[in-house]
Structure 1
Amino acid sequence: MGTQEREYEFFVTTDKPHQPEGTDRGLIRRLVMRNFFEAKGAEPQINISEHHSATTVLAKKQLKSRFRLSKVEEHKIGVKSRRRDCIEGTDTAKRTRSRPLRTLSSGTNGSDLVQGDASMTSGPKRVPKHDEHLGGEKRNDDRALLKTNPGAHRFDPFDVLPVPGTPQLDMLFKLYRSVPKANSIAVNAKRSWWPFISNDAGLLHATLATWALYGMLVRGLNELWVDKLRHKNEAIKEINLKIGSPGGVITDELVGTVLTMASFENLLGAYDAAQLHVAALKRMVNARGGLLTFGHNDGLIRGIAWVDFHNAVVFHTSTSFPRIRFDSDTLPLPDKLLEEAACTSPTSLLQLSVSGIDCFNIFYRLHRLALAASSHWVDKVDRLTSSNLLYEVEYIILSVPDYSRDFLDFDFDAADKQDKDYDGKQTAAHAASIVEALLAASQIFVYAALRALPTNAKIFTILLERLHVAVTRPTVCTIHVWKIERNVNMLLWTLVVACSVAPPGDGRGWWIHQLMDVMTEMDVKSRFDLEVALHGVAWVDTYFHSVLSEIWGEVLQESRVGQGTEI
């Protein structure tokens, strides 16, 4: 056989610690492994079965005794002889060189180390009894040490992601794993988002920036602001690079990166910047042929829809994209859940004089969706079913016309009570204010309880202000208006939802006082009574249990303060 000439290519990265980007790492691997498969293919092929047969014939002597068990006495003699050889060899090595004394650390058992040193200097080392059965204790100790994985605490120990691994990256992945399940149901119903983002640098950078922002809002990890800005900057670079490339194609990854950046700006509350991304997203979707052309990527099409929803909620406008009909073969809600929901559905909404059917359809679905998200049912309901129902209810909420002008114009224009149309305008204004309050509260419930967004996100400030305008009308008693429309129970639920996202302090204090007035009107005297009333509208135990404890504590505190003032 002639020797095959090998080819080598050398490359230099830098003389300082340097981690190449994903494309560079791929180039390096290709250069290093270029000739491997060529050399492997050039070797003469060996018949595997023939080779194995020849090996078996040569190993005839070993085959004769491979199933024969050794006698117990012979085994013991062999173990003793090996121990004797090991001890004698150790003793000889100790006599040929001297060992320095070891210093004891404060966290180690000192008596064990002293006895160990004495045995080394005075005589042969004694082998523990449990090691006699190992037949080579030193070798087994070495194997135990090799079990330690140097990359055990890294999310990406082999650097397969398009973003270089760092301790900060591991922290962001830990944040991702700690996000509540409800956060992913709306967009990641089929759990297809991670395989989608893990192969594109721009998309992964945009997602990491969002996780860093989430950690700042939820955990108060303000040190992540550097990672937030760095990953945001890298994502924008990737977007510009793909758009500016010759013959640039609008790929799913590019659309997903723009979508994630829009979601990032929405969560941050930078709605001017979010509008730029949303406008670009609309142009890309239209250039691809519409929203339905992304039907092959479930996570992407749902993500586009929810960014559009967020934009419509903030600016109080209709959606930009048409309604999507998702999988028709999705599993329905369990029959027992529907039976449980039928006993407590909020049917009083049908008595509203304005948009009563729309409000009933919204809360009919919210009631069942809240049950599906509760701890008792969440593992029994298909994620896709919950995701589709959540999309449907959000689309219906945004489809209800804006009635805010009906009560704002009536309240701020000096209407003449002698006008023959005054009573009709007043009734329409009262009903319109109730509808606007219910829509704002339902949006808070969707984004806080069902989507698990951080309650200090900007969207809740906007919705609270909208709700505040609807329930605090000048020269109008709020409870009286809701009693006329026979929906005081809905006012109670609305105020509890508002308290759940209101900032602590004076911001929540006003809502607590309004809630206490309604509780007095409905004769709600205990936390149990309050829970029963909330169950009749929409209740998610995993969200309300902790929140309701704080609310009820503040209600009791305000009650004591009021009693002390009266005295």
Structure 2
Amino acid sequence: MFTVRQERFTITATPPSRASPFDGESSVVMLTNPGIQSFDPFDTYPQTRLPRPHVQRLIQHFLSHIAFQYYPLDLNLTSNPFVVSWWPLALADPALFHVSLQTASLDIDLRAQRGFANSEILMADSVSLVRQKVTDPASALQDETLDSIITLAAIEYGKGNIDVSTLHVDGVKRLVQLRGGINAVKRMSPLTARMVAWVCMIVMQTPQFPTQDDFGSGDGIAPLPQWHQASGSINDAAPTVLDTPLLDPQIADVLCRLHNLFDSSQYKLSSTDLHDLTCYVVHKLLLWVPQLQVDRTLCDLSASGILRHATVLYLLIIHGPTYFSHARLQYATALKLQAQMEYSWFNLLFNHSALTLWLLSVGMVASDGIPEGQWFTSQARKAAEALDLRAWDNVVVRLRGIVWLDSTAAEQLFQQKWQEAWATVPG
């Protein structure tokens, strides 16, 4: 087993005054037992086979802990989507109610280390109730059904039951298709669409839904409005990005748009925008297939592949875990980045030093806690020596020229890894 440290960036209900809302210095929203205020004191919720006092404890745990573990991008009790959108649906739907309690029960059982008797009861009843919904034409395509199935997929994946989780993913994909595609679901039910697209990708380790093209065609995952706006100043992107020879135009376009979105104060990104942006771009990059250009020139597939995987990792880092951990995908992508850079990074350093420093920085943070992380740290130290860089300020000014979100929490992660690199004794 491997562990990858994933930091969650704290976000307040009122964005800070800085250009970016994703600032680690923001104050944490304090939760004062919201569960007490959020379930009906007359117990008007679906019946379960568990004692009522225990059910009420599970409700409190879901509303005060699970909702914010699943969606740490919004720590506000009055706006977190699992509190204000998901929970009202669960109170009126036995299947979703049981599945929601199951997430809380598993969390409590894991902490208590006293077995999973209650969770097993809830799981058996959850599966039975979901089957009833799927076989009923009147309820099969409801948001509650999709929400229940994708949550079961996440639960089974977390328990290591990959085959069962895959079956749930296949089922929810069929239902999404019957509803007109993931973008059609998003227009009607944003939370459902976001969770389905993200969890399916994490479970299967590859995108399960297409993305729309640059003209908004298709029924796939759509980009933010700001994504289209950022293309208007595409030529203003950092020279270090554009000067990479023969970089695949699709990869260069993604880098330039991200650079513009993160670098300019004219683009405002909320926490939900960051999630949608990450979901869209990660899907787009992982689905990338090199295309022969009009002038029949062949792109540098090595450089394009390196930047593709590094950009995926950077977005996963600044986004943090949502719904459940993406550590496995991050680990696999970090391994690919290392393999691609192993014999080419030093030559790249002298032609594109800032870009190489950015690649090594992303690799160090993304591989923290795994054996391969030492490789990135060692190469970063060598790069710093070659460029005579001795302080973080000398490094970060170069990183800002590539793709860099203004976030104190993110910057602390990168600075810490560079301090470790400078402290590494040459082997």
TM-score category of the 2 structures, normalised to the smaller one: 0.5 to 0.7
Deviation at 1:344, TM superposition (A): 8.7
Out of 119, 139, 142, the residue aligned to residue 251 of structure 1 is 142
The yes-or-no answer on 1:302 pairing with 2:171 is no
Contact 2:209 2:221 in 1 (8 A): no
Aligned partner of residue 182 in structure 1, secondary structure: coil
1:25-63 C-alpha deviation (Å, 9 max, x unpaired): xxxxxxxxxxxxxxxxxxxxxxxxxxxxxxxxxxxxxxx
Contact 1:369 1:390 in 2 (8 A): no
Contact 1:308 1:320 in 2 (8 A): no
* Residue aligning to 2:331: 461
Structure 1 unaligned blocks of 5 or more: 1-149, 404-426
* Residue aligning to 1:434: 303
The correspondence of residues 160-559 of structure 1 with structure 2, limited to 5 A, is 160-162=44-46, 165-176=55-66, 178-179=68-69, 181-182=72-73, 192-207=85-100, 209=102, 221=111, 223=113, 226=116, 231-244=122-135, 249-265=140-156, 271-291=162-182, 293-294=184-185, 295-310=187-202, 314-315=205-206, 319=210, 322-324=218-220, 345-370=237-262, 381-382=269-270, 385-386=273-274, 388-401=276-289, 431-453=300-322, 457-472=327-342, 476-480=343-347, 482-483=348-349, 486-504=351-369, 506-540=371-405, 541-558=407-424
1:73-100 C-alpha deviation (Å, 9 max, x unpaired): xxxxxxxxxxxxxxxxxxxxxxxxxxxx
* Paired AA for residue 381 in structure 2: M
- Rounded to whole Å, the distance in 2 between the matches of 1:172 and 1:190 is 9
Structure 2 unaligned blocks of 5 or more: 1-32, 213-217, 292-296
- Rounded to whole Å, the distance in 2 between the matches of 1:534 and 1:554 is 17
Bigger RCO (CA 8 Å, 6+ sep):
2
- Rounded to whole Å, the distance in 2 between the matches of 1:246 and 1:318 is 24
Contact 2:34 2:63 in 1 (8 A): no
Deviation at 1:458, TM superposition (A): 1.5
- Rounded to whole Å, the distance in 2 between the matches of 1:377 and 1:215 is 44
* Paired AA for residue 312 in structure 2: Q
- Rounded to whole Å, the distance in 2 between the matches of 1:199 and 1:515 is 54
Q: Taking structure 1 as reference, are residues 389 and 276 closer, same or farther at Cα in structure 2, changes over 3 Å only? A: same
Q: Taking structure 1 as reference, are residues 363 and 191 closer, same or farther at Cα in structure 2, changes over 3 Å only? A: farther
* Paired AA for residue 468 in structure 1: Q
Q: Taking structure 1 as reference, are residues 176 and 338 closer, same or farther at Cα in structure 2, changes over 3 Å only? A: farther
Q: Taking structure 1 as reference, are residues 363 and 267 closer, same or farther at Cα in structure 2, changes over 3 Å only? A: farther
* Paired AA for residue 210 in structure 2: T
Deviation at 1:526, TM superposition (A): 0.6
Contact 2:247 2:304 in 1 (8 A): yes
- Rounded to whole Å, the distance in 2 between the matches of 1:433 and 1:228 is 48
Q: Taking structure 1 as reference, are residues 316 and 283 closer, same or farther at Cα in structure 2, changes over 3 Å only? A: closer
Q: Taking structure 1 as reference, are residues 317 and 251 closer, same or farther at Cα in structure 2, changes over 3 Å only? A: closer
1:479-526 C-alpha deviation (Å, 9 max, x unpaired): 11x247x43322322222222232436442222112212222333211
Q: Taking structure 1 as reference, are residues 258 and 508 closer, same or farther at Cα in structure 2, changes over 3 Å only? A: same
Contact 2:251 2:304 in 1 (8 A): yes
1:68-124 C-alpha deviation (Å, 9 max, x unpaired): xxxxxxxxxxxxxxxxxxxxxxxxxxxxxxxxxxxxxxxxxxxxxxxxxxxxxxxxx
Q: Normalised by the size of structure 1, how large is the TM-score? A: 0.53
Contact 1:189 1:387 in 2 (8 A): no
1:171-216 C-alpha deviation (Å, 9 max, x unpaired): 343223544643799x959964444444323224444555677899
Deviation at 1:257, TM superposition (A): 1.4
Aligned partner of residue 188 in structure 2, secondary structure: coil
* Paired AA for residue 238 in structure 1: L
* Residue aligning to 1:111: none
- Rounded to whole Å, the distance in 2 between the matches of 1:194 and 1:240 is 21
1:403-453 C-alpha deviation (Å, 9 max, x unpaired): 9xxxxxxxxxxxxxxxxxxxxxxx979x32222222222222222312435
The correspondence of residues 151-162 of structure 1 with structure 2, limited to 5 A, is 156=39, 158=41, 159-162=43-46
Contact 1:366 1:538 in 2 (8 A): yes
Contact 1:350 1:356 in 2 (8 A): no
Aligned partner of residue 250 in structure 1, secondary structure: coil
Contact 1:259 1:304 in 2 (8 A): yes
Deviation at 1:259, TM superposition (A): 2.4
* Residue aligning to 2:13: none
Deviation at 1:477, TM superposition (A): 4.4
Contact 1:346 1:363 in 2 (8 A): no
Aligned partner of residue 537 in structure 1, secondary structure: coil
- Rounded to whole Å, the distance in 1 between the matches of 2:155 and 2:382 is 39
Deviation at 1:261, TM superposition (A): 2.7
